[in-house]
């Protein structure tokens, strides 16, 4: 599927003016464009939806249907590491045949489909983006798992499920979009059955982050801008929010600290790859000029180059945050809802 096809499929982004307008509105939410954190939190649904309307097809084209990072062994391919990472969370939750599982912020459903097949469970995904919901349903059908994998369009801060509905609840690098971590985890607590487990991989700032360091703040702002985040939280804040929500924490760990292959390697311009090439000086020059030409002849909508620039900013911030050790996308928490 081409990028021009993608924009025609995204609801509300059918024309050039709509793409440009969506990009400009999205940019105004962020510090790098004189935005502030409070409006991002209040209007997080609009901000995140605009971002994924614009970026979803870029992500799928470059990364596949599993839109997350992973702990990775030497000699292990990116795809293998992503699958192992997903299997790990299923095993930690002790999923068993017949369980009803909730995937909070499921993207286009790659992890949901993999875990459903691996653990022989039924999984419901929650996603608030109309385009991604439609794409997930289509991919579920193509994979032949539409009987066991279901997706509901809803806000994970206010999910349309009764109390105590699910045997296991997890989120993979999704709840970083929540305006309030405690509120999000409390909602996950509500729908989980008593005595059952909850697990998250969370995007966080580490204890090494210094709010008074200009370079650290720049990295934080680039990650927030490039990934539609209301505001990054420190690992200790996330752990405290899990406890406040009522969970008993079993264990937690930042898997970025002991990954033999750096999680950001696919985007690292020092290690050239298909994904990292576009953020090199040469790759950026070629990509920018290609998109300019395609916009000029109207193969892709005007504004596509700006979307690419947002994703480049995201990659820069993520790699710099990983190198400096001030950011992790894989802070893991396993917890249990008391009986």
Query: Cα separation of 324 and 328, whole Å?
Result: 10
Q: Which H helix or E strand runs over 311?
A: helix 304-324
Same domain for 280 and 254:
no
State the pTM of this model: 0.86
305-310 long-range contacts, CB within 8 A, separation 24+: 306/20, 306/23, 307/19, 307/23, 307/54, 307/55, 307/58, 308/58, 308/278, 310/23, 310/26, 310/27, 310/51, 310/54, 310/55, 310/225, 310/226
Q: Binning pLDDT at 50, 70 and 90, where does residue 15 land?
A: very low
Give tens-digit pLDDT for 82-110: 999 999 999 999 999 999 999 999 999 99
Q: Which pLDDT does position 290 carry in this prediction?
A: 63
Give tens-digit pLDDT for 273-326: 545 445 455 555 555 666 566 666 666 566 677 777 788 888 999 999 999 999
CATH of the domain at 196: 3.40.50.150
Same domain for 187 and 215:
yes
Q: Is residue 145 part of a domain?
A: yes
Q: Is residue 62 part of a domain?
A: no
Same domain for 206 and 304:
no
Same domain for 246 and 274:
no
Token pair in block for residue 293: 């030409």
Give tens-digit pLDDT for 159-191: 999 999 999 999 999 999 999 999 999 999 999
Give tens-digit pLDDT for 239-284: 999 999 999 999 999 999 999 999 999 888 776 554 544 545 555 5
Q: Is residue 70 part of a domain?
A: no
User: Minimal CA–CA distance to 306: which of 320, 318, 295?
Assistant: 295
What percent of the chain clears pLDDT 90, i.e. is strictly above it? Answer: 64
Token pair in block for residue 90: 């299923």
User: Minimal CA–CA distance to 136: which of 115, 152, 121?
Assistant: 152
Non-local (6+) Cβ contacts of 287 within 8 A are: 278, 308
Same domain for 287 and 226:
no
User: What is the domain range of residue 202?
Assistant: 78-260+325-337
Query: Cα separation of 26 and 67, whole Å?
Result: 21
């Amino acid at each position: 599927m081409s990028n021009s096809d993608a924009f025609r499929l995204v609801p509300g982004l059918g024309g050039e003016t709509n793409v440009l307008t969506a990009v400009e509105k999205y940019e105004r939410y962020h510090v790098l464009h004189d935005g502030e954190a409070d409006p991002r939190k209040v209007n997080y649904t609009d901000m995140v939806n605009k971002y994924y309307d614009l970026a979803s097809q870029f992500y799928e084209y470059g990364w596949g249907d599993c839109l997350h990072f992973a702990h990775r062994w030497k000699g292990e391919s990116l795809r293998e590491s992503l699958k192992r990472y997903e299997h790990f969370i299923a095993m930690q939750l002790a999923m068993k045949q017949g369980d009803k599982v909730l995937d909070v912020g499921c993207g286009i459903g790659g992890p949901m489909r993999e875990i459903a097949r691996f653990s022989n469970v039924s999984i419901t995904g929650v996603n608030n983006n109309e385009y991604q919901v439609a794409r997930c349903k289509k991919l579920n059908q193509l994979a032949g798992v539409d009987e066991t994998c279901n997706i509901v369009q809803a806000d994970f801060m206010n999910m349309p499920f009764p109390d105590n509905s699910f045997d296991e609840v997890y989120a993979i690098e999704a709840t970083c979009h929540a305006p309030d971590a405690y509120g999000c985890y409390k909602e996950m607590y509500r729908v989980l059955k008593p005595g059952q487990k909850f697990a998250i991989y969370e995007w966080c700032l580490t204890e090494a982050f210094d709010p008074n360091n200009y370079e650290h703040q720049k990295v934080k702002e680039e990650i927030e801008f490039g990934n539609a985040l209301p505001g990054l939280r420190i690992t200790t804040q996330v752990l405290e929010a899990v406890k406040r929500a009522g969970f008993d924490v079993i264990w937690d760990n930042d898997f970025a600290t002991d990954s033999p292959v750096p999680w950001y390697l696919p985007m690292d311009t020092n290690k050239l790859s298909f994904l990292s090439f576009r953020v090199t000086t040469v790759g950026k020059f070629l990509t920018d000029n290609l998109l300019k030409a395609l916009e000029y002849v109207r193969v892709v909508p005007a504004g596509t180059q700006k979307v690419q620039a947002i994703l480049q900013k995201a990659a820069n911030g993520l790699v710099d945050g990983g190198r400096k050790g001030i950011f992790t996308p894989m802070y893991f928490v396993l917890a249990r809802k008391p009986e």
